[in-house]
A and B are shown apart, each in its own frame.
Chain A
Amino acid sequence: MSLNNSQLHGFAFAGTIVLAGALFGTTVYLTEAEGATHEPQLKEMVTIEAQLARKSEKKKQPQKIEKAPEPPDKPEGVSRDADRKPLDKKREDKKHPKPDDKPIDISKFKHASDDDPQPGAKPTTDIGQFDGSEKGFAPINAGNPYWQNLVADFHQVWEIPTISKVKGAAVGCFHIEPDGKIAGAKFDARSGDETLDDSVERAMKATQKARNDKPQPVPTEQLGVIKKWVCFRFNPNQ
């Protein structure tokens, strides 16, 4: 069978498309795999503010209350042992208050912050902040627990002597591996205050060591974040 020139061109074009597609797919796959293990460049970093605060409460959907089925009534006093006597019914201890018993004033056990309105109290209109921050729904509470834990680790080790009056803020960055180990640490911006920068360097070093000794794997949904340096702005005076 012989092919004419136009048929040959058609096959060649189709083959090119298929080959290019295969190469493209392979390259993308390899790049993704490489990206998770190679140290990213700090200059590529794009800074996005991410304020972390207290952990927000997980919202729970309203649950249907299911009542457990009542156990079937067992006839008491029935036993396979014909000689066994039926059990005595427990007498209900109906202790009536003595006439001289004073009623207990439960109001003294009540906490001042109890939600129940006090008798005679005016109806409250305080429903908290409109942005929901008091209820844990505001963006300020949107930090991922993984990063919140890392910030908590910093707070454990970041120390500045009281007599050292430091000013400014420093930005230090970690290169975090998917398994949670910290492969690299460096300054992105020094504060210019030697004591502050020194304290930040010590805190980062201590945290890096602690995390490398006991790595906490990065959650799947945060793997995209660690493709680049994750940076921390250390502000001692806030």
Chain B
Amino acid sequence: MGMFSIQPKSVIALVIAVACAGVLAPGARADDPTSGVVIEVNGAKHTLYPIAVPTSPDGDAAVAKEIAQVETFDLGVAGVFKVLDPQGFLADLKAEGLTIDPPKWKDVGAFGVIKYKVTASDIELRLYEVSKGTTAVLTKTYPRKGDTRSIVHRWCNEVVKYYTGEAGFFGSKIAFTAKGKSSSAIYAMDFDGANAYKVSNNTSQNILPAWSPSGGQIAYTSFMRNNPDLYVAAAGGGRPKKLSGQHGMNTGAAWSPDGSKIALTLSKDGNPEIYVISASDGSILKRITNDKAIDTSPAWSPDGSQLAFVSDRNGGPQIFVVSSSGGGAKQVSLNGSYNTTPTWSPKPGKHLIAYTTRDGGTYDIVALDLDAKAPIRITQNEGSNEEPAFSPGGRAIAFARAGQGVFIANADGTGKAVKVWSGSATGIDWGPAPAP
């Protein structure tokens, strides 16, 4: 045995020591008390719904392009969507066909994707929610009868209803007065400016159109017999029927929600006052105001129980509300010294009136919540804007911008107004919702 001869017992002791070291070492990390933190992240940023509307690469290219264009416009003005720029799309549209590859759409920020396929007989449209994978959440097939735009408007109404539970206003129509050099004519068009046509058929002054609740008729004031009388014509145009030919003004017609009555301004006794007449024969049913001031521009509340109108009884023109059965009127406009052309929001449960207000040297559109008494700016620093009209459902407002044309904007004051018709226009009225 040499100097450092090792005994078997020593080897056993070393093995035990090594084993102990191996067991103890990992324990030093496992017991770290600072690991495993959970940090709270409260409150997400609320945004418009990012939706992708790619043009279908299959079928008739012109029709496919038109579908994508109409979808993009409709969803863009709906007030709840942000339509994504197709330049950034990563998906192979040809390979995808009518389905989607969710990661590809997630990567471009899309929450929703619309796909469609055009055949000779019909158009199939599908809505996908990227988070829900490759199964479409909404599918519709429309026979190719009528024009493609109408089909796409109906589809977009379905998409809006899927997300919001509310009917869309796509496919509805807007009437307005187009001003010429020596005359003015009543026009109607699709809400997006397409298919504009002339309703009045004379060369005189024709102003202040008003849609009937059914959308089948338009009432307007015409000077064709020199006196400003009230006429009613079919919404598609044609020969009008004189409904009210009282001496003096027969202006500012507004149909009651049930379509049986029309409120308007008559000055048969000298001073302009608000009256309600029969929509069928023009007979006077009720005189609503009786004041030495000028009372004009009546507008029905959605339930028909109240009328808003303009009066200068307290000085400058202001918005007043009165019961549709008459009685005392109450001023509701709170801002400025000049407020005109009121219109009620048809949104259920909302007591909202939009009107024109003078702001410095120009005019702007304001929406006033009568309950909260909180005005919302619809336009500001964008020219002179007048004569608002709510869309069916109350999600959007159309108005005239002096010298530029007809615009539509979100009724909650968000987003940017979009021009739908170019020219000199006044007297905007938005027709009822289209049939589903």
The judgment on whether A and B are partners is: yes
Q: Which residues of A contact B (CB under 8 A)?
A: 1, 3, 5, 8-9, 11-13, 15-17, 19-20, 23-24, 27-28, 31-32, 35, 40, 44-52, 143, 147, 150-151, 154-155, 158-164, 171, 194-195, 197-199, 202-203, 224-225, 227-238
16 A–B contacts from the bound complex (CB under 8 Å): A5-B7, A20-B18, A23-B18, A47-B38, A50-B38, A147-B37, A160-B47, A195-B131, A197-B131, A228-B32, A230-B39, A231-B37, A232-B40, A235-B40, A235-B42, A236-B43
Specify which of A11, A194, A230 is in contact with B129 (CB 8 Å cutoff).
A194
Residues of the B chain whose Cβ atoms lie less than 8 Å from the Cβ of A46: 35-36
Specify which of B4, B13, B37 is in contact with A230 (CB 8 Å cutoff).
B37
Known: A23-B18, A161-B47. A151 touches B41 (CB 8 A): yes
Residues of the B chain whose Cβ atoms lie less than 8 Å from the Cβ of A27: 21-22, 25
Known: A20-B21, A24-B24, A48-B37. A35 touches B42 (CB 8 A): no
Q: Are B50 and A231 within 8 A (Cβ)?
A: no
Residues of the A chain whose Cβ atoms lie less than 8 Å from the Cβ of B9: 9, 12
Q: Are A171 and B38 within 8 A (Cβ)?
A: yes
Q: Are A45 and B35 within 8 A (Cβ)?
A: yes
> Which residue of chain B is the closest to A188 with respect to CB atoms?
B38
Since A231-B37, A233-B40 are in contact, a sample of 17 more A-B pairs with Cβ atoms closer than 8 Å, ordered by chain A residue number, is A5-B7, A8-B5, A11-B4, A16-B13, A19-B17, A31-B25, A35-B29, A50-B37, A159-B45, A161-B48, A162-B49, A163-B164, A202-B106, A224-B32, A224-B34, A228-B35, A234-B44
A17 CA to B7 CA, complexed, in Å: 16
Q: Are A227 and B29 within 8 A (Cβ)?
A: yes
A63 CA to B41 CA, complexed, in Å: 38
Closest 7 A-B residue pairs measured CB to CB? A20-B17, A12-B10, A198-B131, A228-B35, A24-B21, A46-B36, A161-B49
Near A by CB (< 8 A), chain B positions 190-204 give: none
Q: Are A17 and B38 within 8 A (Cβ)?
A: no
Specify which of B3, B45, B50 is in contact with A155 (CB 8 Å cutoff).
B45
- B95 interface hit (Cβ, 8 Å): no
What string of 1s and 0s marks CB contacts (under 8 Å) between B295-320 and chain A?
Answer: 00000000000000000000000000
Residues of the A chain whose Cβ atoms lie less than 8 Å from the Cβ of B142: none
- B132 interface hit (Cβ, 8 Å): yes
- B14 interface hit (Cβ, 8 Å): yes
Q: Are B35 and A227 within 8 A (Cβ)?
A: yes
Q: Are A16 and B14 within 8 A (Cβ)?
A: yes
Residues of the A chain whose Cβ atoms lie less than 8 Å from the Cβ of B30: 44
Residues of the A chain whose Cβ atoms lie less than 8 Å from the Cβ of B3: 1, 3
Residues of the A chain whose Cβ atoms lie less than 8 Å from the Cβ of B32: 224, 227-228
- B130 interface hit (Cβ, 8 Å): yes
